[in-house]
Amino acid sequence: MRLSEVTWTDVRDAEVDVAFLPVGSTEQHGPHAPLGTDALNAVAVAEAAADAYEESSGGPGAGRGEVAVAPPVPVGVAEEHRAFDGTMWVSPETFRAYVREAAESLVSHGVDRVVFVNGHGGNVEALAEVARRFSRDDAHAGYGVAFTWFEAVGDHASDMGHAGPLETALLRATNPDLVREERVEAASAGAADRWGEWVSGVNLAHDSDEFTDNGVVGDPRAGDAERGTELLDRASAALAELSAAVVDRDAA
Ligand SMILES: [Zn+2]
């Protein structure tokens, strides 16, 4: 169920096993992909995984219960893209507090298992801390973990980049109208080959405009809709499997 579309009585009467809290960002994704890419992709994976979880158990009422998919958190830790117009961000401190408190509100209704479904690399570190604090807080007695979709796509993961093949592919499969196809050639021509400037394993660049002029890392031409469908299948299967383990885990 999508929390923003059902009623409170629907939630009361449902047997909810786990909540997914999609977490995105509003930040530059090159000249061809929308600022909301990370939330759009996180929601697409969360919804597909919720279906997979419920289907694998024979549907609501048969064995396992339902997944409550929360509305996405639209602004994250993205100051690294501050040079590009339209990018928004909050501090890691604000982000951690907001996301943790949002998850805790679900626990007050008995939904004590939460998976944070992330679509943005800059959120990874802060979300891991959110999951730990959420799980260790005895007052709320919840248990949660953080999942980042592009880390759960097997061999594809090494192609991640930014607004590159993977993110563009997933958009083409799930929100094709939002990809400016006529700008993909230019996006590709101006793209950097890799994220950051590395010396001795350390990235010297704190901001993305230090190594990419148009915001793109990797070749978006290498991500067609077919690849996007495969990414969606892989990430949602991984998330459904993870969710079953989260639900079954004795976290007392
Ligand atoms: Zn992104």
Residue 20 has pLDDT above 60, yes or no: yes
Q: What is the pLDDT of residues 52-61, one digit of tens each?
A: 999 886 555 4
Quote the pLDDT of residue 241.
96
Distance, in Å, from the CA atom of 7 to the CA atom of 222, rounded to the nearest integer, reads 41
CA of 38 to the centre of ligand 1 (A): 5
Mean of pLDDT over the chain: 95
What pLDDT is stored for residue 138 in this prediction? 73
Q: How confident is the model over 189-214, as a mean pLDDT?
A: 97
Is 166 a domain residue?
Answer: yes
**211 CA distance to ligand 1 middle (Å):** 16
166 C-alpha to ligand 1 centroid (Å): 9
Cα 66 to middle of ligand 1, angstroms: 28
162 CA to centre of ligand 1 in angstroms:
6
Residue 1 lies inside a defined structural domain of this protein: no
Between the CA of 167 and the centroid of ligand 1 the distance, in Å, is: 6
Q: Is residue 2 part of a domain?
A: no
Does the structure show a pLDDT above 80 at 63? no
**Ligand 1: centre distance to CA 107 (Å):** 29
- Ligand 1 center from residue 55 Cα (angstroms): 29
Is residue 87 included in any domain, yes or no?
yes
85: domain CATH number is 3.40.50.10310
- pLDDT tens digits, one per residue of 73-95: 999 999 999 999 999 999 999 99
Q: How sure is the predictor about 141, in pLDDT bands with cuts at 50, 70 and 90?
A: confident
How many domains, in total, are found in the chain? 1
CA of 16 to the centre of ligand 1 (A): 30
pLDDT at 59: 52
Q: Give yes or no for residue 70 having a pLDDT over 60.
A: yes
Q: What is the mean pLDDT of residues 151-169?
A: 95
Domain-embedded: residue 163: yes
Q: How far is the CA of 13 from the centre of ligand 1 (A)?
A: 36
Tell me, yes or no, whether 115 lies in a domain.
Answer: yes
**Span from the CA of 109 to the centroid of ligand 1 (angstroms):** 32
Supply the range of the domain harboring residue 110.
8-244
For residue range 215-249, list pLDDT tens digits in order: 999 999 999 999 999 999 999 999 999 999 999 99
The whole-number pLDDT of residue 252 equals: 67
CA of 120 to the centre of ligand 1 (A): 5
Q: In angstroms, what is the span from residue 62 Cα to ligand 1's centroid?
A: 37
Q: Tokens for 59, please give them.
A: 């549907």
Q: Answer yes or no: is 63 within a domain.
A: yes
Cα(15) to centroid(ligand 1), Å? 33
119, 41 in Cβ contact below 8 A?
yes
